Structure 1
Amino acid sequence: MFKKIFKNMSQENSENVEKDLTQDNIVNDNEETVNEGIPSAEGLTEEEKLREELAKEKDKFLRLFAEFENYKKRTSKERVELFRTANQEVLQALLPVLDDFDRALVQISKSEDEILLKGVELIHNKLKDTLVSKGLEQVDIKAGDDFNADFAEAITQIPAPSEDLKGKVVDVVEKGYKLGDKIIRFPKVVIGS
């Protein structure tokens, strides 16, 4: 659509320039006959003015078109990002429930009631699958990994149990989760010093 408008504008402007040029030539020819051989500088400057005006209008149009294209790209990118992270608050509210299920599974597995364990595992898996289907992913960090402050939160430092664990993760206290590429809860870890 913009290409058609631009094409029509440039055709109209070039037709107007041609009309103006032919009228200037007629006027210039008459002036030259009156002034007998004195060259007229007005025709040349008028032509230059028209060409500059046309160039300015083309430049304005191209800038406006480019600005509009950038706006469309930016808004579509923002819309995709909004859809991707729209569930963030709800997912963050459900993370403590998921943590409670993890702790309950550990405690129930110590008991000898297998039916209770299976029931809680089914509910836990269903909740976890639902959250994963909405884009939630667990941040993969475990004991022995190098500590990176961009992906984990150190809650304390303890003396390293061995030399190879200095500056590394000793224990993961709370799991971290991300939604797409954005971390919505950093894992809380203990690092060795």
Structure 2
Amino acid sequence: MFMDLEDNKPMEENQGTARPMENQSGEETNSKKKGSGRGHKKELEELGDKLIELNDKYLRLSAEFDNYRKRTLKEKMELVKSGGESVLTGVLPVLDNLERAMSSIRETSEIGPIKEGIELIYNNFTDFLKQNGVTPIDCIKQAFDSDIHEAITKIPVTDPEQKGKVVDVIEKGYYLHEKVIRYAKVVVGD
């Protein structure tokens, strides 16, 4: 018994030489062309190397993306944790002023200085809000707009110009820059 060196398969004795065969078109062909086995092996090796290279690139890219995702998630969590830090540190002076006002209320019986202190705190706080982009929504005598107002009730009005307009504000609304962060609760003339 003989062995086919290219395929490592046993051959019968009469198979030792390639004989011409006819294909479907009637042409004679050798069952094995010279060098075709070696060409396929080389091509397979090249494809195998390419597969290994592409798989390695894929694994590296996948790991890099996973690290990127973890890093951005961590940064986002830190931003959420510390994002309000500057706002909160800005509120602390207002808290200090409130504490001073509370202690002065206990120490004095005069209402004038207390009133001035409360107005000062109010002004400090509204200035702080403006510095951070928070502004009140102007409502009185404005046409009712459901994008910025929430109608609590309607009341009859005698002046026809007040119909469909805001006649009273129950609770102020606020913008953060141009976005409504709290709708104004209003009374509308009917």
Output the TM-score relative to the length of structure 2. Answer: 0.49
Q: Which structure would you say has the larger RCO, counting Cα contacts within 8 Å and 6 or more residues apart?
A: 1
Bigger share in strand: 2
Q: TM-score, normalised by structure 1?
A: 0.49
- Larger Rg over CA atoms: 2
